[in-house]
Every structure is written in structure tokens, then in C-alpha cells.
Amino acid sequence: MMYCRKDKNILTVSWDRSIAVHSEASEHPRLWRSASNIHGGDITCVAFSRHLGLIATGSTDRVVSLREYERLRLVAPLLGHKADITCLTFLDPFPLLVSADFNGNIAIWVVSPTHIQQQHKHANSVLTRFINMQSLENAAPVNCLGYRYEEEEQLLYIYTGDEDGDIRVWEVSKMLQLGNVQPVEAKREWEPHRKDHFDAKHLTEVHMKRATASPELPCVIKEPVVRQSRTWKGHDDSVRSIQVCKNPLCVVTAGYDHMVKIWSYEGEPLSILRAYGQSSWSFDVKADLSVDEVTLNNVLSKVAVLAKEEGKQKWVKSSRATVAAFDVEKEVQKYISKNKQGNW
């Protein structure tokens, strides 16, 4: 399940191999659009990029399906994985998608946003791939992905959390240069509440046959462009979620050890989220306002004026001249005048 705040839509996928876009309204549930049989196996993960206008889904059928957000129509099947897909994430503002499978493979794809006229020459292909190795012999499946992009330095990092509880940081900045990958403009024209329903069974069967015959993740860039810059033991069990945050600057992870931890970008522990006890929380967090402070203060002042006027009108309508109003200050002064010595 994923939430699109700007459109107030909820995106869901299910083991019934369907995808759907719902309205967030709880009083009147509404399904905008859906597609059934988009995979030949259980859907295991989903990623969404409003910047690119794309949705990606992964499945036990070993196919990554790239779809339009507005119509749910297929853009391209991404073939090459030979094991179940475990997680996906888009690398905005680049036309890039990262996928991981149960064998520990991590692939970075160039994708094809439909609103971009001139697509990358290697669109829907793997730029590079690497393996999340625990040792020289063993690889661990990656269960969750995050990333951070430092625009001024042109540095791109991918964060992974794996089955053994380890968190790793991979620098892929060199890939951007050798692959000639540039940021793309965000999609501007939208029809987020479009209604549509269809069955994709026929195309799904075709892509499953192609996936069986396709080679394993052939790469465009042959030389090494990925460098592991950091690694640390994050959890005592599998890492299930990872979020790289900008406000505050931190990485939040959750694992099957029932722990939620907060780290610096470099892996230094900052805090643990607890339901009890003491938790050191000293982050300089600013409120994420959807409007600027000047506009917000103007609105609040106008609301205060309107509320005051409304209060006066209600008081005039409800006032009666039968009983004098009780004034606390006057009553106290009367009491003091009766007791001049002040023993009260």
C-alpha cells in the first residue's frame, strides 16, 4: 500500500495479482481504477514515483512490471531476474529504478517516463548490477531500499537492508556519468482520478514466457561503477523497512527484532523509538507546512477576526436584560470594603 498525498489517492497491490487506485475518503469508498492479473505470481512489492508518473511492481514470477500511474497501462516489462523480486524503489529525479531479488542481486534500470519525448538510449535496460555479499561465498537477499541524492556534489547513494540485519550504503555516482543519466522534469499534466478497469492476463502470460528465456540481468555498463561506502549491523533479525530522511537528516530502520532505530547517514546510532522508558530525541525538526508562514499567519488572523465577530453576534442574540452580569472583580472589591482590615 502506498499513499499519494497530492492526489489524495491510495495505491494497493495484492496477492490476488491485482493493482488498484482508491480515493482516500473513508466515508464514501471509491475505486478509481484497477487492473487484474498483472503478474503470473503473487505480487511481492510495489514502488511509486509521482515525479515520473510511474508504478513498478515485482512478483514471484520474476518480472518487474512498469506501468502508468494514470491508466495502469503497461509501459514495459523489465526482464532478467531469475529469482523472486523482493523490493523496488525509484531514484527521483532520475529516470532510474532499483530492483532486488531473493538471490541478493540488485539491478539499476533506466526507465521510460511517458511524458518525456526523448527517452534514454538504453531505456528499459539494466545500467549496472551488483550483489549484496555477506561473505566471499554467501549473498543475503535485500528486503528494503532507500536512497539519497546530494545535488550540489552530484553524489547518489543507495541504502539497503537485508535478511541478516545488515545495512549497507552503496555509492553509484560514477554510474550517472558513464551512463549519461540526467535528471528529468516532473510530470505536470495529470488526470489522477481517471476511471478504468481491465484484465491484463494475456500480456502477463506472454511476458512470463519471455522472462524464462531471457538472460540474467545483462548490463549496459561493463566496468565497476558501484562502491560500498558504509556497512553496519542494524538489527538482530531481518531489516524490513528503511527510510532515508532529509528533515531531520537521518536513516530510520525497522526489523523483525521488534525494533525501530534511527541512524546518521554514516551509520552512527542516534536514537531508538520506544513505547516506554527514556528515548533521547534531540532532532532539529521543522514543521512540514504545505503553505508558507506568511500566508498561514494571514489566514489565522482572518479566522480569528471572523470568530470574534461571530461570538459577538451570538452574545447579542442570546442576551437578556433580566439578570445583571456577575463581575468577579467587583464582588471582590465589595468584600474588601466590608473587611477593611483584610482578614479574609
User: In the prediction, which pLDDT does 344 show?
Assistant: 46
Q: Going residue by residue through the chain (344 aa), what tens digit of pLDDT does each one get?
A: 888 888 889 999 988 999 999 998 767 788 999 999 999 999 999 999 999 999 999 999 999 999 999 999 999 999 999 999 999 999 999 999 999 999 999 999 999 998 988 899 999 999 999 999 887 788 999 999 999 999 989 999 999 999 999 999 999 999 999 999 999 999 988 888 899 999 999 999 999 989 888 999 999 999 999 999 999 999 999 999 999 999 889 999 999 998 999 999 999 999 888 655 555 555 555 555 555 566 666 767 777 777 777 666 655 555 544 445 545 455 545 655 665 555 54
CA distance to 9, 88, 127, 201, 300, per residue, from 82 (Å):
33, 15, 17, 21, 57
User: In the prediction, which pLDDT does 161 show?
Assistant: 95
Cβ atoms < 10 Å from Cβ of 55: 26
- Residues 6 or more apart whose CB falls under 8 angstroms from that of 263 comprise 167, 232, 234, 250, 251, 252, 253, 269, 270
User: In the prediction, which pLDDT does 328 show?
Assistant: 47
- The grid coordinates listed for 257 are 527484532
User: In the prediction, which pLDDT does 323 show?
Assistant: 45
User: In the prediction, which pLDDT does 118 show?
Assistant: 87
- Residues 6 or more apart whose CB falls under 8 angstroms from that of 185 comprise 116
CATH fold of 2-233, please?
Methylamine Dehydrogenase; Chain H (2.130.10)
User: In the prediction, which pLDDT does 117 show?
Assistant: 87
User: In the prediction, which pLDDT does 5 show?
Assistant: 85
| Annotated domain spans of the chain | 2-233, 293-338
Q: Which of 169, 333, 198, 185 is nearest to 267 (CA)?
A: 169
